[in-house]
Structure 1
């Protein structure tokens, strides 16, 4: 088996630009949501998935959608339960169902417009309309 050669300077530059851009946009969007609503990025991710899932999801399904290990999600949900944003209940047939509370629904309703404005400001407004379709296709291909 041959050992791959190290990345070239151009390859490293592209890799670092990709990482830094994604981290920067996510951080800025998360900061705006936190400043306006007090929700962290993980809070927002969980609340929107629950809201989009008719207010409830099985905990394992939620973990999978977040790309998280069960224990990480469990710790996050414990913090969110303490703040009254979600509730967990045993599900029929085993497992746990996570439910959005009224406070959680109110919080996500306040956060969605902040999220939309921040995404437009930090990402969409900086991508020329003529390149959006190509960028979307490339990102979707990379995510496969």
Structure 2
């Protein structure tokens, strides 16, 4: 009886732990984050700046220029389990008047106390690179 209860509790704890994790696949442009508006630039300029910002101190794990999506991860450290970061460019068009860049940053675990919100620094890099507001 005690073994059965222990197994059930162990499985329950594992399920809670997995459910509380943020993954690359879970990042969505509708998540809370930072938005950068860019005008008078081409899609290629916006994309090049976005790739540069998302690879500075981060590892790109998914990149799709035709969909306007870049996803990166920050490594785990002494006091953090790491973070996952998504960047979403809209519209995905070579001839748009303006582009919206949505940057979403999440800690790997909802129980993680430490960690960095990467969205503001990535947005600042893109703004500085493109001289946008």
Structure 2 length-normalised TM: 0.28
- Between the two structures, name the one with larger relative contact order (CA 8 Å, sep ≥ 6): 2
More helix by share: 1
Structure 1 length-normalised TM: 0.27
More strand by share: 2
